[in-house]
Amino acid sequence: MYYGAIEAGGTKMVCAVGDEALTIIDRLEIPTTLPEETLERIYAFFDQYSLCSMGVGSFGPIGINPDKDNYGYILATPKKGWTAFDLLGNLKSRYSIPFAWTTDVNAAAYGEMKRGAAKGKKSCIYLTVGTGIGAGVVIDETIFQGLGHPEMGHIRIRRADSDRYEGTCPYHRDCLEGLAAGPSLETRTGTKGENLPEAHPAWELQAYYIAQALMNYTLTLAPEKIILGGGVMNQGHLLHKIRRQFIEQMAGYMDTPEVNEYIVRWQLANESGIIGCLLLAKEAV
């Protein structure tokens, strides 16, 4: 029994085949170019296997409401060629097997809950701080969705008094993503996050904004764990700053687990998404 998984990102596509234990037995990473070209390479990889199902976690926004015409589509993305592309429909017409379809961050949240940092819990939030900011939510061991998937990277947060930076979000300018994603950090400081010294004041601002978001998520959803991932979170010191800010901002209002247990780094690292997709594939059978 083989299961297929695709973590579809705006930069790269990760494809994997897992066995019954969901151990990855083959894997392919390709750049995300135009849809047709990218799909040809994906097909060439999966055609080698007889799969019983496939799980896809995609960059978004995507249509995930099965009652809507845009189910399975990639929606308003700035990525050239992918807006209104029927990714799931194309995959389904190539492979007549059951599919699971969700966002990349939902898949990662699910992977982390079943096999990573939130193992043994029934709920968690996974937040990625990278090129964009996005979150996946698992409640009662089920990926949460309503009208569509939540867009928790675009929430409004309170600006620091000293912050004059306008923000990078093309829709909202200074939403969380606009103020605290990797590109915003870079434009704000003139230096990529990976090269920015630990003592730079932008890190404290970064922590201030992310902690506000975590406080809002905690107050609205009360997850058992918050897991942080994405390129910017490679800065170990940032996690400590976020935890400190979180405690300060919460001001003891709500009873949450000890902060080092509650706000943690991803455990499966770059594998959370693909493992989540494999788990969802297996459950789709």
Q: What separation, in Å, do the N-terminal and C-terminal C-alpha atoms of the chain show? A: 11
Please identify which residue in 79, 92, 172, 244 interacts with Zn ion, judged by CB under 5 A. Answer: 172
Decide: is 175 part of the binding site for Zn ion (CB under 5 A): yes
Nearest distance in Å: CB 285, ligand ADP: 29
Please identify which residue in 145, 234, 249, 267 interacts with ligand ADP, judged by CB under 6 A. Answer: 234
DSSP structural state of residue 230: S
Decide: is 61 part of the binding site for ligand ADP (CB under 6 A): no
Please identify which residue in 232, 264, 279, 281 interacts with ligand ADP, judged by CB under 6 A. Answer: 232
State which of positions 120-149 bind ligand ADP (CB under 6 A).
130-131
Please identify which residue in 136, 153, 182, 276 interacts with ligand ADP, judged by CB under 6 A. Answer: 182
Please identify, using beta-carbon distances, which residue of 117 and 179 lies nearer to Zn ion: 179
H helix and E strand count, the chain: 9, 12
Decide: is 231 part of the binding site for ligand ADP (CB under 6 A): yes
The alpha carbon of residue 64 and the mean position of all alpha carbons in its chain are separated, in whole angstroms, by 15
Question: What residue 131 binds from Zn ion, ligand ADP, none (CB within 5 to 8 A, per partner kind)?
Answer: ligand ADP
- The tokens for 265 are 């780094």
Question: What residue 154 binds from Zn ion, ligand ADP, none (CB within 5 to 8 A, per partner kind)?
Answer: Zn ion
Decide: is 194 part of the binding site for ligand ADP (CB under 6 A): yes
- Where are the strands (E) in the chain, listed by range? 2-8, 12-18, 24-31, 51-58, 73-74, 85-86, 99-103, 124-129, 133-139, 142-143, 226-229, 263-265
Nearest distance in Å: CB 171, ligand ADP: 18
Closest C-alpha among 154, 147, 45, 143 to residue 103: 143
Contact flags string 217-246 toward Zn ion, x per CB under 5 A = ------------------------------
Question: What residue 130 binds from Zn ion, ligand ADP, none (CB within 5 to 8 A, per partner kind)?
Answer: ligand ADP
Decide: is 35 part of the binding site for ligand ADP (CB under 6 A): no
Helices 104-115 and 272-284 meet at what angle, rounded to 10? Answer: 90
Decide: is 230 part of the binding site for ligand ADP (CB under 6 A): yes
Using the structure block, give the residue that is written with the tokens 């000293």. 162
CA gap 52, 73 in Å, rounded: 22
CB of 57 closer than 8 Å to CB of 107 = yes
The type of residue at 14 is: V
Question: What residue 172 binds from Zn ion, ligand ADP, none (CB within 5 to 8 A, per partner kind)?
Answer: Zn ion
- Listed in sequence order, the residues at least 6 apart from 75 whose beta carbon sits closer than 8 Å to its beta carbon are 60, 61, 62, 63, 83, 84
Decide: is 154 part of the binding site for Zn ion (CB under 5 A): yes
Binding site for ligand ADP (CB under 6 A): 9, 11, 130-131, 182-183, 186, 192-194, 230-232, 234-235
